[in-house]
Structure 1
Amino acid sequence: MKTLYSTLLCVLLTAVSYAQKETEKDTLNKKTTKLNEVIVTGNKNTDPVLTIVSNKYVENIVQPKNVADLFNNIIGFSSIKRGNYAIDPSFRASQYEQLNIQYDGGTKAMHACPNRMDPITTHIIPEEISKIEIIKGPYTVRYGATFGGVINMVTEKPNYLDYGLHGKISGGYESNGNSLVNMAQFQYIQEKYDIVANAGYRDFGNYEDGDGTEIPSSFRSTDYGVKVGYNFSDNQRLQAHWRQSFGRDVLHAALPMDTDYDNSSIISLDYKLDNIGKIIKSVNAKAYYSYVDHLMTNTNRPSFNMMEAASNVDAVTTGGKVELHWQPVESLNIFSGIDVLNVARDGNRERLVKMMNGNMLPEPMLFTDKVWQDSYINDLGVFTEAKYSVSPSTILTAGIRYDNVVSDIKDPEADFEAMYDLEKRTEHNISATVSVKKIVSDNFTLEAAYGRGVRSANMIERFINHFNVGQDPFEYVGNPNLNAEVNNQFEIGFKGYEPLKNGFDGFKYEASFYYSFFENYIAAVVDETLDRKFMPMALPQNAKVFRNLDEAYKTGFEAKAELDFLNDYFVKGEFAYVYAKNKDLNESLPLTPPFTTRFSAGVKKEKYWANLQYNLVSQQNNISESFGETTTNGYQTLDARIGINAFKNFTLGVAVLNVFDEAYNNHLNFSFTNQADFGRVPITEPGRNFSAFLQYRF
């Protein structure tokens, strides 16, 4: 690890030294500009197959449980739900580490819990996110190893020219669960420095589904963050960001245990030197550290009478990046850099067994199980991506990336060590991409892309040892010898706008079609030679072991059309479909969402807005039986929202969600696990829910 950081530091110092010399040479000749942002994020004019979505939580009038809720209304996305707190986004049937999820152009915080009770989406205030940038596949090499796409959640940036003290205070309420959300943000801006601070509190109760059944899903969380920036000059800025999140008493309906506490701390440093010289244009650097401390127990579960279990686990994520933007000729922009991502996890599960083989023990027996076996994965990446303007209307992008991935297990269990020849392992992964964007006219853009994205196995897939981490009741066993997954993805997309007359303002439309074939796809398969380790008399008798598949693919599309009329009114339709196939097992790949359609209509004026959204989700028969999936029925829901800017700086919104009180479950929802009053069926979603939101800005 020290070697990696020494390399990163050397590159940074060399780049800054050279950049400062270039700046000195060009100070008299080049006009500098005010630096407003620290991070290099997606650029809609150059990045391929890119979507930028503003976080309109004020207009949505929904109190997001965590950041994953912000994806609910983005076409192509679904949610993997284990309760109200442990929610992961899924995009085009890619999820978890198949998606490169980050904050502000690179900051990451990896989960400590093997059941993903604490995904990256739980460690930041949802209201702090101003926009979400999505690169829809492995079509860039600049933001880390990317398999299924990049999701960059950009935190809100103040107006750096609006000096003085400003801020906002907001509160929200939901009737279904008697839930409260509060948030306050303050900012103080001066020419040389700026300070932004925020704090939030969320208290969600158990909700009721459309049949009136109460779902155990309550939780409390407290978050705060401080961001401090200093401008050395008009083109040079340093920013530090510190945040902490504290989850308490979290109930997970679809997991075997609950969270007693989940504490996370994240610090990041960002540096940018802009407008440097004729060839070297800018230098960006980032470094970050995150720590997650997680405790889960089965205190409130039926299994507690037979066995008391408590798992105290932790995760440390460190990383950084240095990127140079250089322009050897006017039509060619090149981005070259180095990045680092290191993940280390450890922790044990303590089991106090009171009953064995149906008989109470005269004296309970204490066992200690190694959850993560003191493991780590380090990824050092080097990349170059070029953007060439073939003509004023055509941009060609090509990039290549090399990742050196080192993994090791330092404290293995005896049975895991007996299965494998354990030693430090090094992998060499090559990713590449090429795409072209053609601006056919002022109102029509066409783009095509190919990307080869490579993802090495994550820590669960490598090192988990007889733990229930899936949707089914099987024990899962890792495989440290897995080959890296490869996604060869092709995509073509277009977007356009047609101005209209006679009261119609315009017609907007866009669509994307894609096909991926996978190499070495990673999946857990039943091993009939390996018996379960814990509760050996229970079923299923065998365990699952992670393996590489030879043949798998997916294909699908997203489409959207919107008609604007009478200046302020609109009607819109959105469609998303994905089909995935595991040819080795002759079934679908797991967690493939059904065909989804949304229709919405509304009005948006300066003083008020209102809209209706009709959601149609089809039945999903294309399932992965080996993953424990079952066919899910289709459903239809209706949401209604209205908001008003009642007074100066005041915004009020009310909504009715699931107006018809539909009882349904999403296909990606996990099933009830270790619950007293529920069978092993997918958890259901909230029934009718009245929501209100109030915000004051000053």
Structure 2
Amino acid sequence: MRISIIGRAGRRAPSAGGAVLGVLLLVLCSALPAAGQPSGRIEAVISAASGAPLAGAEVRIEPAGLAGVTGPDGRAVLGPLAAGEYTIVVRLIGYRQARRTVRVDAGETALLRIALADDPIRLDALEVAVLRPDLRPATTLDERRVAEANAHDPGAVLRSLPGLDAVRRGALGLDPVVRGLRETQLGVYVDGARSFPGGPGGMDTPLSHVDPSAIKSLEVIKGPYALTWGAGNMSAIRVETLPLPADGAAPLRGRIFSGYDSNLDAAEFGGEATGVVGGIAYALGGGWRRGDDYTAGGGAVVPARFRSGEARAKLGFAVTANSRLVLAGSFQAQRDIAYPGRPLDAEYFDVLNGSARWELSRPDGALRGVDALVYAYSIDHEMNNDRKPTARPDPSRMPPFPLDIDTYSGIRVYGGRLAAHLDAGRDWRLEVGGDVYHASHDARRRTDRRDTGDPVSRDLIWGDARIADAGLFARAERRVGILDISAAVRLDRVWADADSVSEFFRENVTGELEARETNLSGALTAAVPLGTHWRLSVGLGSVVRTADANERYSDRNPARKMQIGAEFMGDPSLEPERSTQVDLWLEANYPRLALSFNVFGRRIDDHITIEPTDLPRRSAMSAPTVYRYVNGEATYWGTEAMATVRLPHALTLSAAAAYLYGRDDTLDEPAFGVPPLRGDVRLRWEPGYRGLFLEGAWRGVARQDRAATSRGEVPTPGYTTLDVHGGIELGRRMRLRAGVDNLTDESVINHLNATNPFTGARILEPGRVFSVRADVRL
């Protein structure tokens, strides 16, 4: 067996990572025992009060520490378990947590049916789950309370978790980073649809076009294991918005919310409504936000103005007794967004999307569920330099006269996914299916003299650049003895082309604009209990990512990944990069203590990086060196640890730490954008009265001296911050939260943040911020 890249003629041989993965998959699969010893299990069947099965519910067994997620039929089978009594804890957004006790006998499967009650006051919650390589939740109390932080951007939520961070370039759109992976190295999925940024300038991200108030769950895969989600996922993020109510829900339930942050002068307002009328379930939501410049610790003022509004809707129709059709759509308008880390600001983003999804769930039989999705969305985006230094005359600059720069970009994406969930008997569970997307990109720049109106240049950035991917996937899970084993394989066919490019681009690239690839990816994971309280999980995966539109067709345009104020040339003949990663997770779960330790190593073959060229720059205001995207090699390894302990007097203490090492082997220097060593400690008091809580959080970040100096990265100092948050439910309908971030008003420089292209200074984080939030249930 060989897992490799099957590319255009004359390409290099399969990577070592792919060959190693193929051999390991064959050895591990052939070495599995044919049968295991009799053992007890628990089969949990989770439903709404109406009896409708609930998919996606987290089922956790205490004190064994095992966890699983219900499938389309609402079932989750966990084990093996020694004979004895266990407590089952079930959680799902929009429903009250359930706790039940069940006895397990040796060699038997204990059946437990749990109907969850609605919990409308939780409509405003955002749950974040980091998944192990076997796609099982590995959440802790600390992660579940992220919902109560005052997050204004999904990227800010990710900054709360070990191994995750985000790049700040401006007021909106903190760009997610997972263990050093970013941009299109991360597969981002919103309600199942593959999402891409709309502009070439690094202003927006796939997550920045979803209002934070609409997000109800956010899952993160820290490696190449989400093969059934979509193509090229070196890591992956999946977001679900506005869950539909279950059958039998009230005709109308909802909430309104409002909030304000000092320093940022940021205000928000919005609401949601859900219900079931005439057998049709609906969920409606909308939000409006605006902000202004903020003051960093130390007094520096950072441009951060923005305005954003969004409306979102879902309708669910019962097609049969066990299937439904869900229609969804949204529109978002963002205006006047400041980006101090970019040479231009955003004049607007207009985002329109729609989808149709058919879901089938069956309680028995070989076919347990079907999920069919089609979607389409568009992003229109315009940028200008009206508030940048280039809009003013400067005799010391070339050119000395003021410029009027306007850039338009647009993206159109169409896609779909079809998956079937099968029960093959003998403890086999299968998922098979396929997905496809087609993305077309267009971007052009106009530059005139601002004082006279005379034209300076007309530049083509993307000329209807198109990338399409069609993939097939299969994933199997089985319990063999005490082992939980899963394996996945994925085959993708990729097409890339561009209708038009500049003469300069044609003269300075080799090969054709059109490219074809066939890419094979695979993953194998296993988990085994180590006694009653401990559990060991291992994962090995290898995934292929094709080059994106910037990397293929950019004509001396600023890069999204890099922090240099330079120009970059694409290369249509780039090899796709392959990430091969191995993970080891060790977890413990005791009645009052939870521990988690993870270590991983990653090798990226044909890593898409940059090298300097002698090409002339397009703009005299750019850095003198033009860079080109090239293939290279890179190596990463890292470790993360978490601990949570329940103390007396309703106190909970949590701690976490993360470290990442990365090296660009081709350039013989540290990898670009590697966050420094970071530690977090949280102490939470929650007495169980009216949702009252008070939490203090301390963060310490070390100095980062490992910098990719050839690409403009510089070392950054360490820092510490202290945040305090609290909340209480006032009566049965209102929840109030308040807090202060960066209590001591420290000057905070996140190592991943972009630099100001005119001053070279890295964008600072906000100083002290007081905030208040109110949610009222209707």
Unaligned runs of 5+ in 1: 1-31, 355-359, 500-505
The corresponding residue for 1:683 is: 763
The corresponding residue for 2:435 is: 339
1:40 CA drift (Å): 13
Please list, as runs of the form range in 1=range in 2, the aligned pairs for 1:595-634 lying within 5 A after superposition.
Answer: 595-604=677-686, 605-607=688-690, 608-634=692-718
The corresponding residue for 1:220 is: 307
Match of 1:134 among 207, 220, 229: 220
Residue by residue, what CA displacement relative to the aligned partner does 1:142-200 show, whole Å, maximum 9, x if unpaired?
A: 01124431211122425414222000111111011211011200112247211111110
The corresponding residue for 1:530 is: 615
1:33 CA drift (Å): 6.3
Distance (whole Å) between structure 1 residues aligned to residue 328 and residue 532 of structure 2:
40
1:231 CA drift (Å): 1.3
3-state SS of 1:371 partner? strand
Aligned partner of 1:379: which letter?
D
1:283 CA drift (Å): 1.3
- Contact between 2:186 and 2:236, CA under 8 Å: does it hold in 1? yes
Residue by residue, what CA displacement relative to the aligned partner does 1:413-449 show, whole Å, maximum 9, x if unpaired?
A: 1111222333421111110011101133443221001
The corresponding residue for 2:115 is: none
The corresponding residue for 1:6 is: none
- Contact between 1:319 and 1:340, CA under 8 Å: does it hold in 2? yes
Residue by residue, what CA displacement relative to the aligned partner does 1:637-686 show, whole Å, maximum 9, x if unpaired?
A: 00001111122211111101100000121000111124xxxx21101111
Please list, as runs of the form range in 1=range in 2, the aligned pairs for 1:161-200 lying within 5 A after superposition.
Answer: 161-190=248-277, 192-200=279-287
Please list, as runs of the form range in 1=range in 2, the aligned pairs for 1:308-347 lying within 5 A after superposition.
Answer: 308-347=404-443
Residue by residue, what CA displacement relative to the aligned partner does 1:45-82 show, whole Å, maximum 9, x if unpaired?
A: 7961544667756521x141x22222121221111110
The corresponding residue for 1:576 is: 658
Residue by residue, what CA displacement relative to the aligned partner does 1:481-524 show, whole Å, maximum 9, x if unpaired?
A: 1111111100010211123xxxxxx1111111100111000011
The corresponding residue for 1:665 is: 749
The corresponding residue for 2:563 is: 471
Aligned partner of 1:451: which letter?
G
Change (3 A) 1:120 1:264: same
The corresponding residue for 1:435 is: 525
3-state SS of 1:471 partner? coil
Establish whether residue 487 from structure 1 lines up as the match of residue 579 from structure 2: yes
Establish whether residue 412 from structure 1 lines up as the match of residue 501 from structure 2: yes
Distance (whole Å) between structure 2 residues aligned to residue 276 and residue 654 of structure 1:
44
1:38 CA drift (Å): 9.7
Residue by residue, what CA displacement relative to the aligned partner does 1:457-487 show, whole Å, maximum 9, x if unpaired?
A: 1111111101122311211010111111111
Change (3 A) 1:197 1:156: closer
Aligned partner of 2:664: which letter?
N
Distance (whole Å) between structure 1 residues aligned to residue 744 and residue 647 of structure 2:
29
1:367 CA drift (Å): 2.2
1:139 CA drift (Å): 1.8
- Contact between 1:34 and 1:234, CA under 8 Å: does it hold in 2? no
1:454 CA drift (Å): 0.8
The corresponding residue for 1:21 is: none
3-state SS of 1:303 partner? helix
The corresponding residue for 1:285 is: 372
The corresponding residue for 2:94 is: none
- Contact between 1:38 and 1:238, CA under 8 Å: does it hold in 2? no
1:558 CA drift (Å): 0.9
Establish whether residue 364 from structure 1 lines up as the match of residue 447 from structure 2: no
- Contact between 2:564 and 2:757, CA under 8 Å: does it hold in 1? no
Distance (whole Å) between structure 1 residues aligned to residue 144 and residue 653 of structure 2:
20
The corresponding residue for 2:738 is: 654
- Contact between 1:193 and 1:230, CA under 8 Å: does it hold in 2? yes
Match of 1:350 among 446, 451, 459: 446
Distance (whole Å) between structure 2 residues aligned to residue 68 and residue 237 of structure 1:
32
3-state SS of 1:374 partner? strand
Match of 2:639 among 557, 572, 575: 557
Residue by residue, what CA displacement relative to the aligned partner does 1:6-45 show, whole Å, maximum 9, x if unpaired?
A: xxxxxxxxxxxxxxxxxxxxxxxxxx96254599999487
The corresponding residue for 1:640 is: 724
Residue by residue, what CA displacement relative to the aligned partner does 1:255-298 show, whole Å, maximum 9, x if unpaired?
A: 00011110101111111112176222221111111100001000
Distance (whole Å) between structure 1 residues aligned to residue 420 and residue 51 of structure 2:
18
- Contact between 1:437 and 1:448, CA under 8 Å: does it hold in 2? yes
Aligned partner of 1:447: which letter?
S
Change (3 A) 1:186 1:365: same
The corresponding residue for 2:773 is: 693
- Contact between 2:151 and 2:212, CA under 8 Å: does it hold in 1? no
User: CA-atom RMSD, angstroms?
Assistant: 2.2
Please list, as runs of the form range in 1=range in 2, the aligned pairs for 1:247-258 lying within 5 A after superposition.
Answer: 247-258=334-345
Establish whether residue 34 from structure 1 lines up as the match of residue 52 from structure 2: yes
- Contact between 1:50 and 1:135, CA under 8 Å: does it hold in 2? no
Distance (whole Å) between structure 2 residues aligned to residue 196 and residue 441 of structure 1:
44
Change (3 A) 1:55 1:568: closer
Distance (whole Å) between structure 1 residues aligned to residue 699 and residue 372 of structure 2:
42
Establish whether residue 541 from structure 1 lines up as the match of residue 624 from structure 2: yes
Distance (whole Å) between structure 1 residues aligned to residue 610 and residue 470 of structure 2:
27
- Contact between 1:334 and 1:385, CA under 8 Å: does it hold in 2? yes
Distance (whole Å) between structure 2 residues aligned to residue 462 and residue 669 of structure 1:
25
1:531 CA drift (Å): 2.0
1:363 CA drift (Å): 7.1
Q: Which is worse superposed, 423-432 or 243-252?
A: 423-432
Distance (whole Å) between structure 1 residues aligned to residue 494 and residue 429 of structure 2:
28
Distance (whole Å) between structure 2 residues aligned to residue 35 and residue 388 of structure 1:
22
Distance (whole Å) between structure 2 residues aligned to residue 559 and residue 190 of structure 1:
47
Distance (whole Å) between structure 1 residues aligned to residue 210 and residue 187 of structure 2:
17
Aligned partner of 2:327: which letter?
A
The corresponding residue for 2:83 is: none
1:697 CA drift (Å): 1.0
The corresponding residue for 1:28 is: none
- Contact between 1:80 and 1:670, CA under 8 Å: does it hold in 2? yes
- Contact between 1:55 and 1:130, CA under 8 Å: does it hold in 2? no
Aligned partner of 1:659: which letter?
L
Change (3 A) 1:50 1:585: farther
Distance (whole Å) between structure 2 residues aligned to residue 385 and residue 171 of structure 1:
43
Aligned partner of 1:407: which letter?
A
Change (3 A) 1:629 1:696: same
Aligned partner of 1:596: which letter?
R
Match of 2:239 among 150, 153, 157: 153
- Contact between 2:245 and 2:281, CA under 8 Å: does it hold in 1? no
Please list, as runs of the form range in 1=range in 2, the aligned pairs for 1:489-504 lying within 5 A after superposition.
Answer: 489-499=581-591
- The TM-score normalised by the length of structure 1 is 0.88
Unaligned runs of 5+ in 2: 1-49, 60-67, 71-77, 79-131, 393-401
- Contact between 2:56 and 2:69, CA under 8 Å: does it hold in 1? no
1:343 CA drift (Å): 1.0
- Contact between 1:192 and 1:232, CA under 8 Å: does it hold in 2? no
The corresponding residue for 1:402 is: 491
Residue by residue, what CA displacement relative to the aligned partner does 1:62-115 show, whole Å, maximum 9, x if unpaired?
A: 141x222221212211111101213101010011111111112x2133222112
- The TM-score normalised by the length of structure 2 is 0.80
3-state SS of 2:552 partner? helix
Q: Which is worse superposed, 464-473 or 436-445?
A: 436-445
3-state SS of 1:127 partner? helix
The corresponding residue for 1:26 is: none
Match of 2:357 among 270, 283, 307: 270
